[in-house]
Amino acid sequence: MQKTTGNFLGALLLAGAVMVPLDSRAQGASKPAAGMDISADKLEYRNEVMVGAGNLRIRKGPELLTADYGTYNDTTGETTARGNVHYENSLTGQRFNGDELQGNFRTQQWDFGFSEFSQGLFTVFSESSELIEPGLQRFENAMVTTCDAANPEFYIRAREAMVYEGSIVRARSAVFYLNNVPFLYLPRWTVDLQRDETNFDFLPGYSSRNGAYALNGYSYPLLNAWATTRLDYRSERGLGIGEDLAWKGDSFEGKLRTYFLNDEAPYRDAEQQARQEAEFREVPESRYRVRLSHYQSITPRDQLFIEAGKLSDPEVTLDFFDDEYRVMPVQENRLSYTHNDHYFTAGVELNKNLNEEFFSAVERLPEATLSVPRLRIGGSPFYYEGFHTAGILDAVYSERDQSLGKTNYDTQRIHTRNTVYYPSRHMGFLNLIPRIGFTGTFYADTFEKQDVSTVTSSTNSLGVLVNSTNVTTALVNQGADIRDLFEIGFETSFKAFRVMHNEPTGMGVGMRHVVEPFANYSYIREPGLRPPSIPQFDGIDRHDRRHDLKFGVRNKWQTKRPVVRPNPLNRNKMESYNRLIDLVDVSVSTAYLLEPEDNQDALGDILVDGEFRPTDYLQIDTRAYYNVDASDFSRINTEVQFMADDRSHVSIDHYYRPDRNHVLQAEYSLWPRSTLSLEGYSRFEIEQGEFEEQVLLFTYRTDCVGYGLGGRWIAGDVLAGDDTIEEDDEWQVWGQIWLTAFPQGIVEMGK
The CATH number that applies at residue 105 is 2.60.450.10
Mean pLDDT of all residues in 236-250: 93
Inform me whether the pLDDT recorded for 641 exceeds 50: yes
Answer whether residue 179 is part of any domain: yes
3 state DSSP class of 318: helix
Among 78-82, 500-504, 719-723, the range scoring the smallest mean pLDDT is 719-723
Inform me whether the pLDDT recorded for 23 exceeds 50: no
Answer whether residue 651 is part of any domain: no
Q: What is the pLDDT of residues 386-440, one digit of tens each?
A: 999 999 999 999 988 888 888 899 999 999 999 999 999 999 899 999 999 999 9
Inform me whether the pLDDT recorded for 19 exceeds 50: no
Which residue spans within 312-382 are E strands per DSSP? 334-340, 345-351, 361-376
Measured distance CA(55)–CA(111) in Å, rounded: 22
Q: How many domains does the chain have?
A: 1
- Where residue 748 falls among pLDDT bands split at 50, 70, 90? low
Answer whether residue 141 is part of any domain: yes
Phi first, then psi, for residue 343 (nearest 5°) are -110, -5
96 within 8 A of 86, measured Cβ to Cβ: yes
Answer whether residue 413 is part of any domain: no
Inform me whether the pLDDT recorded for 668 exceeds 90: yes
Answer whether residue 518 is part of any domain: no
Strand (E) or helix (H) holding 324: helix 322-327
Tell me the whole-structure pTM to 2 decimals: 0.74
Higher-confidence position of 330 and 552: 552
pLDDT of residue 232: 94
3-state SS, one letter per residue, for 505-547:
ECCEEEEEEEEEEEEEEEEECCCCCCHHHCCCCCHHHHCCCEE
Look up the domain containing 182 and give its range. 8-194
Answer whether residue 135 is part of any domain: yes
Share of the chain above pLDDT 70, in %: 84
pLDDT of residue 17: 29
pLDDT of residue 512: 94
- Where residue 208 falls among pLDDT bands split at 50, 70, 90? very high
Answer whether residue 26 is part of any domain: yes
pLDDT of residue 655: 95
Mean pLDDT of the chain: 84
Inform me whether the pLDDT recorded for 526 exceeds 80: yes
- Where residue 45 falls among pLDDT bands split at 50, 70, 90? confident
Answer whether residue 164 is part of any domain: yes
Identify the bridge partners of residue 95 per DSSP, sorted by sequence position: 88, 118
Nearest alpha carbon to residue 217 among 197, 188, 247: 197
